[in-house]
Every structure is written in C-alpha cells, then in structure tokens.
Homo-oligomer: A and B are copies of this chain.
C-alpha cells in the first residue's frame, strides 16, 4: 500500500483513484491552487467530482482553503498531513499581484491581536499582497 493511500486513510478518506491523484497533485505544487488549476492538471476530469474531492479533503483536515481576495477560493495542503486533528496553524498567506500566486508562509504565524471588549476571536485570516520572491528577482 502506497504512502499517499495511508495518509488518506489516516484522515478517514477512502483512497479512490481521483483522490490519490489529487493528493499527489497538491504535494507537487508549492503554492495554493484553485479548482480551475486542479481541473487543468488532469486530463480526464469531472469538475464536480474534483470540487467534491477537494471539499472532502478540506472537511477531513487535509487541506485548508485560502481566501486571498482574488474572489476565487484556493487550497493548499495542511502543513502536517501526517498528524490528524486540526493543529490550526493560522499562518499568513502571501498573494503576489504580479504572478497571481498565493503562498503559504507556514513559518509566519499571525501575531496576537487585542480586540475591543466583547469581541471574541475564533479564527483569523491575514493575507499580504505584493510581489513575491520569484517576481522581484527579475
């Protein structure tokens, strides 16, 4: 049994063909991908199935959705897909306005923010927009 298969099983995801392929696809990318990216990465592809697959991954804690402000949802593998349970990273995301790529800066956690009285924080999303390393080194 392959390693990917084990990862999926650990997350209670039945390792079907498409799921194995999508997981591999995600590991090969080091930036967040849209559903369109995923769709383009497969010859034989059924949009709905890919959609439901990535949503399954999300629900089971294998990937996290990123809203970088472009209006289309992006997805990236969680940092530690080997460990189960949400280890809520709350790292920040960088969106390059030149190449349109969005990167997980997993080493950069969102700093603590003090809120006005009565406000209770449950989750955070910090997106920094600018020029990425690849695009600035040209």
Contact = CB atoms under 8 A, between A and B. Distances in A.
Interface stretch (A15-23, A30-38, A112-120): A112-120
A113 B92 CA distance: 10
A123 to B, nearest CB: 4
Contacts of A114: 108
Interface in A77-113: 92, 94, 97, 105, 107-108, 110-111, 113
Interface string A115-133: 1111111111111111111
Q: How many copies altogether?
A: 2
Contacts of A113: 92, 108, 111, 126, 128
Contacts of A116: 105, 107-108, 133
Contacts of A133: 116-119
A105 B129 CA distance: 20
A101 to B, nearest CB: 12
6 contacts: A105-B116, A110-B126, A118-B134, A123-B130, A125-B125, A126-B127
Given A105-B116, A115-B128, A125-B126, 17 more contacts: A67-B67, A69-B125, A97-B122, A111-B113, A113-B128, A117-B133, A118-B132, A118-B137, A119-B136, A120-B130, A120-B131, A120-B136, A121-B128, A121-B129, A124-B129, A125-B125, A125-B129
